[in-house]
Structure 1
């Protein structure tokens, strides 16, 4: 999380979240994860070159196939690309997947703004109307939360309007949405996919893991 803030500061145009869209999103995610303010500021300072270390960090995107030929896009922030590449490659291949060259899989995904809103007594219809007024493209119910989808470049604008309308926004990010999905009908394959996803997310340098699998509820119950 701290590395993501540092990279956003350096690559997004400075340490002022009012003028740095990437940094605003990174800080929002840090707040959602209850990251202390002093840690956030320290990460911003690193991105501004205060205290050293930021120059060694870089963003890397890896691609691969998991069990059942599901596609994987993995975003990382690292101070040692060779180490991180080796860790990701070895893990994917050890858990019945394959590591592929950049560009082989990323075309299967499209960037989309995703805003997570707490229901807080609001119905889906109410949130849908407010989101539509704010310029959102779609709304989806997800348990105790509601997901609001936007164009990538409009996520911050829509988020700000939703907050002004009294909604509680828990997170806002640019997500990668699969253009096609792979339905998993084998419980053993599903178990292997979820295990690989979990192990990848446990690696220190990994920020996000995106995939295109679709596991039906009846299969999940068997995992």
Structure 2
């Protein structure tokens, strides 16, 4: 669950979810539990955040039984899980901007882990706000091109309230304002569209390249370590074309 709204990163992310389904299920489960507690309800019809997380869970093939079990546990009076949402910011090699979104029950442990990863791979953990000004929150929906007419998809997206539409080599990418994301997703889903990826992302204004092969490897390892940490929910960065840089 990382990267930016470039299709090569979506593919990289998809490959990771295929190989790490159990870890993805755990992270989304934690997100569902927090959505239930903070939204004050286990009913997605009255808890919009929970509705969004359930859609994300289904997109990642989390079984309905798992979703229902997590909601039931989080709604119970005896549930003592207490996670807080903390965003960390820092720099990778060559000044690549990195935002790390976490849900943690121990902020000291999480901060220590993240600082260790950044230091180990040639970066540094920064202060709040040091890179977030370089990103904009956008709803991003990605639809495979195969079997779809570009003009029709664009028309449907704009009618649903999308703010931007782009056609890449393999996919259509639709952007929305964060507050419009759920409505656009639901409208397109009702018209039969399925999404390769659909979530509110931190989209960078500009991108950075890493020309040095060794530093590119370090950047890739930094992202892997961050993504593998149980407390980390999402990692956003402005490294351009990481798959090509790593090759």
TM-score, length basis structure 1: 0.89
Tell which deviates more after alignment, 45-54 or 98-107. Answer: 45-54
Q: Which residue of 1 aligns with 2:12?
A: none
Which position in structure 1 is the counterpart of 2:173? 147
CA–CA distance in 2 between the matches of 1:185 and 1:13? 48
Report how far residue 71 of structure 1 moved.
0.7
Q: Which runs of 5+ in 1 are unaligned?
A: none
1: CA distance, partners of 2:212 / 2:125: 22
The 3-state SS of whatever aligns with 2:44 is coil
Partner of 1:38: 65
- Offset of 1:150 from its aligned partner? 0.3
- Deviation of residue 188 (structure 1)? 2.7
Match of 1:72 among 89, 95, 98: 98
From the two aligned structures, give the one with the greater strand fraction. 1
Deviates more, 1:138-147 or 1:5-14: 138-147
Q: Does 1:189 align with 2:215?
A: yes
Q: How does 1:142-181 map to 2 (within 5 A)?
A: 142=168, 144-181=170-207
CA distance in 2, matches of 1:135, 1:3: 30
SS at match of 2:218: helix
3-state DSSP of counterpart to 2:195: strand
User: Are 2:38 and 1:14 equivalent residues in the alignment?
Assistant: no
Question: What do the CA deviations read for 1:111-162 (whole angstroms, capped 9, x no partner)?
Answer: 1011232445113332112111111112234564432110100011111111
- Aligned counterpart, 1:103: 129
| Higher normalized contact order (CA 8 Å, seq sep 6+, divided by chain length) | 2
Instruction: Give 1:53's match in structure 2, choosing from 80, 89, 99.
Output: 80
Query: Hey, what's the Cα distance between the residues in 2 that align with 1:221 and 1:187?
Result: 7
1:27 aligns with 2:54: yes
The separation in 2 between residues aligned to 1:150 and 1:3, in whole angstroms, is 26
CA distance in 1, matches of 2:134, 2:175: 18
- Cα RMSD after superposing both structures: 2.1
Question: Could you list the per-position Cα deviations for residues 160-194 of structure 1 after superposition, in whole angstroms to 9, with x for gaps in the alignment?
Answer: 11122222234421110112222333333222212
TM-score normalised by L of structure 2: 0.81
What is the CA–CA distance in structure 2 between the aligned matches of 1:189 and 1:127, rounded to whole Å? 39
Alignment-derived partner of residue 93 in structure 1: 119
Are the structure 2 counterparts of residues 108 and 222 from structure 1 closer, same or farther at C-alpha, using a change threshold of 3 Å?
A: closer
Change (3 A) 1:46 1:141: farther
Distance change >3 Å, CA 22–CA 143, structure 1 → 2: farther
Partner in structure 1 of residue 152 of structure 2: 126
In 2, distance between residues paired with 1:43 and 1:222?
A: 37
The corresponding residue for 1:202 is 228
